[in-house]
Structure 1
Amino acid sequence: MRAVDVVVIGAGQAGLSGAYHLRRVGLEPDRDFVVLDHAPRPGGAWQFRWPSLTYGKVHGMHALPGMELTGADGARPSSEVIGEYFDRYERTFGLRVHRPVEVVAVREGEDGRLLVETSEGPYATRALINATGTWDRPFWPRYPGQESFRGRQLHTAGYPGPEAFAGRRVVVVGGGASGTQHLMEIAEVAADTFWVTRRPPVFREGPFGAEEGRAAVAMVEERVRRGLPPQSVVSVTGLPLNDAVRSARASGVLDRLPMFDRITPTGVAWDDGRSIEADVILWATGFRPAVDHLAPLRLREPGGGIRVEGTRAVRDERVHLVGYGPSASTIGANRAGRAAVRDISRLLGRTGASVGPAAREARTAVSAA
């Protein structure tokens, strides 16, 4: 068993931000802390995004701390652009991510440490930064008759791009950004498309500035403080009205239908007698936090969520959730990584940034970047 001061689980935006700030306070990768990632290569969840999501279509990608993403070709797939950027970032700051590594469980260990059970062996750690995001837990709603459908059902997590739906009748379920993006792409090649949402979509006119952003984050943060499952920040901001969305609304592509009541072998149906024939149901119904490996620590509240103050789990001060709830955005993850390391430094008995070799090396890398 290896003993370290900090284990970071996940090497997406949140995990890399945490690892960067651990280096800034003088902790050395693979000696004082370790970063574990189950993905096969750098890029976090971005590496799994569909090919038609080019970098130019990405909304609100914020640079990692210490190194900007510059000169990116907006016509290239975001999975490639951001994957290469993350790879360069890991190498620039010497973060030495272990991959692919599966984290099976985190439980109470000995001598006040946490025991992290992984596919490459156990780690005993004094603190944990959990940055596992949501991509691994797509949410599939259940409806009567779902198993009887003879067509294809898939989730946003497996969306292959619009070409797979050519000539098909497609029902897109979900009122978020992914659902509208998929729908607008698919409508160009499908025989017919239908948009179904549980609630009427809210389209946002005008700019979305810092004040609006703070208000949205505060709404998500309040749920987390109450121990409720977090909503995504995007879910409380509404859908931005751009030229593409306006055009789709004018053409009828974004004419919304209320949620159906059941699924039939050949489509979907409502209790009022309406029905639609469909070949494909695409569930753009979001994701849930991937935190099942933390279950042995019993961090969940009766409301179903993990209550946090800042990034610290209220039920265990050694555990920090970064990229969870109010920090589940690229800029939020950066700030949360810094905040988590500040608290962990106090827990480890460190005050301020170290001036040891690791800290000097990290600062040199920042300057060079």
Structure 2
Amino acid sequence: MNYSEGQPAELEVLVIGAGQAGLAAAFHLRRTGYVPDRDFVVLDHSPRPGGAWQFRWPTLTYGKVHGMHALPGLELTGGDPDRPASEVIGGYFAGYERTFGLRVHRPVSVLAVREGPDHGDGGGDGRLLVETSEGRYAPRAVINATGTWDRPFWPRFAGQETFGGRQLHTAQYDGPEAFRGARVVVVGGGTSAVQQLLEIAPVAAATTWVTRRPPVFREGPFGEAEGRAAVALVEERVRQGLPPRSVVSVTGLPMTEAVRRGRESGVLARLPLFERITPTGVVWPDGSSAAADVILYATGFRAAIDHLAPLRLREPGGGIRMAGTRTLRDARVHLVGYGPSASTIGANRAGRAAVREIRRLPAREPAAVG
């Protein structure tokens, strides 16, 4: 790609993000006949292959990972269940990029996606303009696969700024040793909260688990019908123009043997959300309290899509309405790994669907390869 101050690099498709969804989209682009670094480019701001997995805490071993689906075209085999998931999945993603020659550009930050200067003037071809840390691109379409890791959600509580101990988000969690001998309050009802609480409890002086809603534990297998029902609930919010809930939030927490033991021992005895934070702990509306040295917010993430703000894709409800992967306000912009496609299997399917839609745009299509 050649850059100049006046002319951005023109291409058919720009893929933003090289996690599960971005790599799946890149695979289908290449399979369809698009050539990397000529017809499409994949940008990733992370330092290494692996998507968000590369940032997971080292005690999250591959054997503890639930629902990790292989990328299209290459199975993940022989993963050591005792190795950190960040290493196993990071190595798998790196091998995937090499196998299919995807030529991911990293680390590259995307600053803004905006309307190209030639759109709507009667003579242009409707390109977008994407400003990045390595130069400017002018693609006909964008597949946005930026996930959520870069936007951890921090809830706000009265008195939060007065707390004398440590406050951190689950994105900063680096294993249980930092909590040895501490009184720990874990906030959040998702899988990360449960996994981290079970790790912290054996070394902490005391743990307290608080959630906004009572957690729902799922017994038995989670089949295709259950998966479709969960995705449908997320899709409905997207259709209404509301910010999506994660797929995991509507599937319930898997009842593993470790979770069963945690419930029996009282570690996973949940309390309702406290009312305020004090310099020494947390207080509930009835006046009861818990002393704390650390508050760990396992409160999830939000979609990392601020760079799309110039396109004004959001609805009044705060979300982005979509038809499949395509945003309704701009047919050139596709979101994969967003809302109903936020699971690993959903990301794979969304990548394929986005490429299929993009080929219908009024632009040059490369010849399919055999």
TM over 0.5: yes
> Please, what TM-score do these two structures have when normalized by structure 2?
0.95
1:203-352 to structure 2, matched below 5 A, reads: 203-349=217-363
Distance in 1 separating the partners of 2:254 and 2:344? 18
* Cα deviation code 1:140-173 (max 9, x no counterpart): 0000111111100011111111111010000000
Which residue matches 2:121?
Answer: none
Amino acid at match of 1:84: G
- Offset at residue 243 of structure 1 (A): 1.1
Distance in 2 separating the partners of 1:124 and 1:130? 15
Is 1:181 equivalent to 2:188 in the alignment?
A: no
**In structure 2, the residue corresponding to 1:85 is in which secondary structure?**
helix
- Call closer, same or farther: CA 1:235–1:214 in 2, change over 3 Å: same
* Cα deviation code 1:107-162 (max 9, x no counterpart): 00123110000000110010000000000000000001111111000111111111
Which residue matches 2:5?
Answer: none
Which residue matches 1:366?
Answer: none
Amino acid at match of 1:158: Q
Distance in 2 separating the partners of 1:299 and 1:246? 43
Amino acid at match of 1:107: R
Amino acid at match of 1:246: R
**In structure 2, the residue corresponding to 1:347 is in which secondary structure?**
coil
**In structure 2, the residue corresponding to 1:88 is in which secondary structure?**
helix
What is the aligned residue count?
Answer: 356
Which residue matches 2:13?
Answer: 6
Which residue matches 1:57?
Answer: 64
Amino acid at match of 1:283: Y
Further displaced range: 341-350 or 282-291: 341-350
Amino acid at match of 1:309: A
Distance in 1 separating the partners of 2:197 and 2:336? 31
Which residue matches 1:134?
Answer: 148
Amino acid at match of 1:8: V
Distance in 1 separating the partners of 2:241 and 2:135? 32
Distance in 1 separating the partners of 2:330 and 2:113? 12
Question: Identity, % of aligned pairs?
Answer: 77
Distance in 1 separating the partners of 2:22 and 2:87? 19
Distance in 2 separating the partners of 1:181 and 1:43? 21
- Offset at residue 205 of structure 1 (A): 1.7
Distance in 2 separating the partners of 1:246 and 1:90? 39
Which residue matches 2:114?
Answer: 107
Distance in 2 separating the partners of 1:50 and 1:309? 35
Find runs of 4+ consecutive structure 1 residues off by over 2 angstroms: 348-351
- Offset at residue 271 of structure 1 (A): 2.2
- Offset at residue 348 of structure 1 (A): 4.7
- Offset at residue 350 of structure 1 (A): 6.1
Amino acid at match of 2:367: S
Distance in 1 separating the partners of 2:177 and 2:364? 54
Amino acid at match of 2:353: A
5+ residue gaps, structure 1, are 361-369
1:67 aligned residue (66, 70, 74) = 74
Which residue matches 1:31?
Answer: 38
**In structure 2, the residue corresponding to 1:122 is in which secondary structure?**
strand
8 Å CA contact 1:169, 1:192 repeated in 2: yes
Which residue matches 2:104?
Answer: 97
Further displaced range: 204-213 or 55-64: 204-213
> Please, what TM-score do these two structures have when normalized by structure 1?
0.95
8 Å CA contact 1:24, 1:354 repeated in 2: no
Distance in 1 separating the partners of 2:364 and 2:69? 29
Amino acid at match of 1:217: V
Is 1:172 equivalent to 2:186 in the alignment?
A: yes
**In structure 1, the residue corresponding to 2:360 is in which secondary structure?**
helix
Distance in 2 separating the partners of 1:273 and 1:254? 22
Distance in 1 separating the partners of 2:327 and 2:98? 30
Distance in 2 separating the partners of 1:240 and 1:18? 29
